[in-house]
Amino acid sequence: MWRTNLAVGVIVLGTLALYTGVANMIPQVESDVPEELVMSLDATPEEMVAAGEELFLGAGGCTVCHGLGTRAPDIVGVAGAECANRQPGVSCKQYLHESLVAPAAYVVDGFQPIMPDMSRTLSDAQIWSLVAYLESQGGEVTVTAADLAPAGDGQASGGAEEAGGAGTVAGAGPTVAAGAGPEEIIQSLGCLACHSLGGEGGALGPPFDGMESLSAEYLRRGILDPAADTAPGFETFAGTMPPNFGDQLTAAQFESLVEYLSQLKAPGQ
Amino acid sequence: MLALLAAMVAAMGAALLLIAPGELAAQDMARMREYGDFPLVGARGAIWIAAQVHLMFAAFVLGVPMFAIVVEAIGIFGGDKRYDKLAKEFTRLLLIAYSATAIWGAILTFLLSSLYPVFWVYLTQIFGPSMWLYAGLFLVESFTLYLYYYGWDRWSDGRAKIGHWGLGILLNVWGTIVMFIANGWLTYMMTPPASVTPDTAPDQVQLWSAIANATWMPINIHRMIANVVFGGAIVGMYAAYRFLAAKTDEEREHYDWMGYIGNFIAIGALIVLPFAGYYLGREIYEYNQQLGITMMGGFMSWLWIIQAFLIGVLFLAGNYYLWTGMGRIPGAERFTKHVKWMLLVLVLGVIVWATPHTMIASRAEIAAMGGTHHPFLGALGVMSAKNTAVNLMILTTFLSFMLYRRANKIPVVNWAKSGTIAQGAALSVAAVVVVFYGVYGYFVTAIVRIGFSVYQVLAVLAAMLFVVALDIAMMRGAQSRGEIRWGQMPARSQYALFILAVTFTWLMGLMGFARSGIRQHWHVYEVIRDTSSQAATPALGPAATMISICVLIFLGLVALIFWLGGLAEKPAHRDPSKLVSAAPKPAPAVAGGDG
C-alpha cells in the first residue's frame, strides 16, 4: 500500500513541479501599477518626456500594441515626425492628445479602432507626459508644464487650449468651444471619423443622415452610453465609440446636437 | 451534519457582515482602514488561496450532482441498479466536500471583510440583497443534499424513486442559482456596466444591471461545463486510487469501471469547453478591446502557451487512457495500428497550439528574431493555425473514443458497411473544412479570419453529432466479440487519471488567474482602483507557485475526504456474498459500453 501511496505522491508532486517549473522558466512579465505622476508647474519638457517614456514602456501598457506592427502603428521614433501631418489644421500636440483621449476620432488607415480612451486610466499629467514623449520621437517637444494646469487657475495656456479648445484639459469637463453649434460640435469631437454626414465621413458607425427616424431618447443614450445599443449592421464595431463625448459638452450643446441629429433626413428624402 | 453546520456558519457570517455597511456613514467609511495585512503570504495571497480552494471545492460539489442525476436516471430508466449505486457513491463524496466548500467560503468572507474592508463594503452596498439570497439558498441546498443522500435507500422504488431523482434535480437547480449569483459578483469586478464610473456611488448601481453584466452569462455557461469536467476528473482520480489500492478482482473491476465513467465524463465535457471559452473571450473583447488584448497579447500572453501545454497533456493523457483501455476489449487489436497516427496528429497539434505568436519582447529580442514575429514559427502561431490544430485534436480524440466504443461490437444491420463509410466521410469532410479555413485564413483580414473559426467549430460539432447518431442506430442489436474485461488495466493507466485530475485542477487555477488578473490593478475594472501595496499583478512564475499551493491544499483535503468517505462506506463490493451481483456491467451505449 505504501508503494501505491508513494507512487501517487510522486506523480502528483512531479506534475505540479513540472508545471510550476515551466511557468517559472518563461519570461516573467509583471503588470505594474501606474504610479501617481506628480509634475510641478516648473517641470521641464525633458522631465515630462522621461516620465512619458517610462509610462509608454511600462505601466501605460502601450507596447502591448504599439511596436508589434500588427495591432497598432509603430510609433517609436516616428510619432513626432508624423503627427502634424495626420489631420489638416490639427497641430502635432493636438493630434497626439486627441489620440489618447478620443482615439476613435481618427484611425490610421489599415488599423482597427481598438485604442482605448486613456483618460479612463491615466491622469492628465500622465497623458501630457505621454504626448511629450511621443513628440520627442522624431519631432519637437512643445508640451510644457503649463499644459498640466487646470482651467481657471490663470495658468492654462497653449496645449490645453489647443487640445481642448476652451482652456481645460480633456476629460475634466466640457471641451467644445462655448457657443459652438451642432455642426461645429461634430467637427470638434471628430464624429466624422466614424460617422458620415452628407455622404462625407467614416463608415465605422451608422450615418448621421436619416437619423430623423430615431427617437431623441435613443440618440441621447447613443451619445452618453454608446454600449447600450448597437445599430444593426455595425455589430463588428460595437464598443468602439468612446463613452465620454457627453462629458465634453455643456447641457445646451448636448441637447442642440441631439435635436440637430434627430432632424437629419436620409439621402433623397 | 458537518456540512449543514458549516453552511449555517457561512450564512450567519455573511448575514452579520451585511448588517454593518448599511449603518456606515460616509465619515465612518473615510476613517476605515482600506486594507489589512496577513502574515506570511500577505492580504492578496490569503484571499487568493481562500478563493481558489473554495472555488475548487465549489466546482466539485456543483459538477458531481450534474452527472450523478444522469447516472441515477440511467439506473432508473434502464433498470440497472448498478448505476444507482454508482450515483450514490458519487453523492457520498459530495457530503464532506460540501462542508469543505462552506468552510472555505466562510474563510473567504471573513478574510475579504477584514483584509479589504472598504472594498467589501462597496460590494455589499451593491449586492447586499443577492448575498442574502445566496446564504438562504445555500441552506436550502444543504437540506436538499441531505434529503437526497439519506433518502436514497428509503425512496428506492416506484414513484418514490422518481421523487428522489427529483430531489437530485432540485439540488442541481439550487446549486446552479447559487453559482450564478456568485458569478454576478465576480464578473461585475471584471466587466462592470459602462454606466458605472469611479464617481458612481454604489447605492446608485442597479443590482440587476450589476449582476447581468457583459461576461456574466458566458462565465455561467463556461463554469457549468467546466464543473462537470472537473467533477469527472476528480471522481476518476478517486476511482484510480481505489483501483490501485484494491485487494480483490471485484474491487478492481468496480473501480476500473468507475474510473472509465469519470474519465468519459471529463473528456466528453472537455471537448465542448473550448467553445464556451471562445464565447467568453469574444464577450471580453466586445466589452473592452484593451481588456481582451491584455488577456491575449499583453503581459499574460505567455499564459496561453502554458495553457496550450496543459491542454496538450489533457488530450494526450485522456487518449492514452482510452488506448490502454482497449487492451481489455476483445476485438480492439484491429484498431491498434491506427494509434500511432492519432498520436502523431495530437503531438503535432500540441506543438502548433503551443507556438508563441505575439509576445511582449524587448528590442534586443525583436532584433535577434529578425522582426516582431519569428520568420517560420510566426506563421504557426496565428489563430488560423491554432484553431486548425485544436479542432483536429478534438476530432482525433473523438475518433479514439469511437474506436473504443466499437471495439468489441459487430454491427448486424444490413447497412453497416455504408454507415461506416458515411461516418468516415463525415469525419473526413470535417477535417477538410477545418484545414481549408485554416489555410484560407492566411489570405484574408483579421476580422474575416475570426469568423472562420465558427465554420471550423460547426463542422466539427456537426460531424460528431452525425457520427454518434449513426453509430447508435448502427450498433442496435450488435453482436459482441466478448465482454470488456473490467479490472484488467495496467496500473500505469490509472496514473494517467491522476495526471488528468492534477492537470485539470491546475488549469482551473491558471484560468482563474487569467480571468481575475486581466483587471490588473483594479478591484472593479476602471471603476475602483486597487491602491494597496500588493496591487501589481504578479508574473506567471509567482502566480504558478500560488496555483500549485492551492492545488496541493485542495488535493490534500480531497485525500482526507476520500479517506473519511472510505471509513463511512458499507463495502458491499467487498462482501464476497454480494460480489457476483455487484460485478460491473457494460457502460451505457453512449459511454462506449454495451449496455
Residues B245-260: tens digit of each pLDDT: 998 999 999 999 999 9
| Continuous segment of H or E residues that includes residue B341 | helix B336-353
Burial B311-329 (b: 16+ CB within 10 A, else e): bbbbbbbbbbbbbebbebb
- pLDDT at position B570: 55
Residue type, B515: R
- pLDDT at position A144: 81
How many angstroms separate the CA atoms of B271 and B391, rounded?
10
pLDDT digits (tens, 9 = 90+) for B74-129: 899 888 888 898 899 889 888 878 889 999 999 999 999 999 999 999 999 999 99
Cβ–Cβ of A31/B289 closer than 8 Å? no
Residue B444, SS3?
Answer: coil
- Does residue A6 register a pLDDT over 50? yes
Q: Which of B123, B112, B104 is nearest to B189 (CA)?
A: B123
β-pair partners for B529: B522
- pLDDT at position A82: 84
- pLDDT at position A155: 33
Confidence bin at A76 (pLDDT 50/70/90): confident
CA-based nearest residue in chain A for residue B533: A33
**What does the block give as the cell for B324?**
490502454
For chain A, say whether B186 makes contact (Cβ under 8 Å). Answer: no
Phi-psi region of B591 (alpha: psi -120 to 50; beta: other; left: phi over 0): alpha
Stretch A6-29: mean pLDDT, rounded? 92
Specify whether the CB–CB gap between A15 and B544 falls below 8 A. Answer: no
Radius of gyration of chain A (CA): 23
Cβ–Cβ of B545/A34 closer than 8 Å? no
Cβ–Cβ of B521/A34 closer than 8 Å? yes
The bridge status of strand B479-480 relative to strand B522-524 is unpaired
- pLDDT at position A148: 73
Specify whether the CB–CB gap between B191 and B214 falls below 8 A. Answer: yes
- Does residue A166 register a pLDDT over 50? no
Q: What is the pTM of this model?
A: 0.76
**What does the block give as the cell for B396?**
482525433
Contacts of A241 in chain B (CB under 8 A): none
| DSSP letter assigned to residue B205 | S
Confidence bin at A161 (pLDDT 50/70/90): very low
**CB interface of A with B, residues 57-96, below 8 Å:** 61, 63-65, 67-71
- pLDDT at position B373: 64
For chain B, say whether A19 makes contact (Cβ under 8 Å). Answer: yes
Cβ–Cβ of B309/A228 closer than 8 Å? no
- Choice among A28-32, A138-142, A219-223, B524-528 with the minimum mean pLDDT: A28-32
Distance from CA of A31 to the nearest CA of B (A): 5
How many angstroms separate the CA atoms of B69 and B164, rounded?
10
How many angstroms separate the CA atoms of B588 and B502, rounded?
27
How many angstroms separate the CA atoms of B194 and A224, rounded?
10
Contacts of A121 in chain B (CB under 8 A): 526
- Does residue A176 register a pLDDT over 70? no
- pLDDT at position B287: 86
Stretch A80-92: mean pLDDT, rounded? 82
What is the overall mean pLDDT for chain A?
77
How many angstroms separate the CA atoms of A86 and B548, rounded?
51
- pLDDT at position B434: 95
Specify whether the CB–CB gap between A171 and A247 falls below 8 A. Answer: yes
Q: Which of B351, B334, B344, B4 is nearest to B144 (CA)?
A: B4
Contacts of B289 in chain A (CB under 8 A): 114-116, 239
What ipTM was reported for this prediction?
0.86
How many angstroms separate the CA atoms of B592 and B401, rounded?
7
B110 compared with A34, residue with greater pLDDT: B110
Contacts of B520 in chain A (CB under 8 A): 31, 33
Q: What is the 3-state secondary structure (H, E, C) of B344-399?
A: HHHHHHHHHHCCCCCCCCCHHHHHHHCCCCCCCHHHHHCHHHHHHHHHHHHHHHHH
By the 10 Å C-beta count (0-12 exposed, 13-18 middle, 19+ buried), A9 is classed as exposed
Cβ–Cβ of A120/B543 closer than 8 Å? no
A147 compared with B319, residue with greater pLDDT: B319
- In 10 A of CB A256, how many CB atoms? 16
- pLDDT at position A154: 34
Contacts of B541 in chain A (CB under 8 A): 23-24, 26, 28
Residue type, B290: Q
CB contacts < 8 A (A, B): 132
CA-based nearest residue in chain B for residue A69: B372
**CB interface of B with A, residues 284-313, below 8 Å:** 286-290, 293-294, 297-299, 302, 305-306, 309-310
**What does the block give as the cell for A184?**
461645429
Confidence bin at A42 (pLDDT 50/70/90): confident
Q: What parts of chain B have a pLDDT lower than 70?
A: 1-31, 297-298, 357-367, 369-373, 445-447, 450, 568-595
Confidence bin at A9 (pLDDT 50/70/90): very high
Contacts of A67 in chain B (CB under 8 A): 372
- pLDDT at position B13: 52
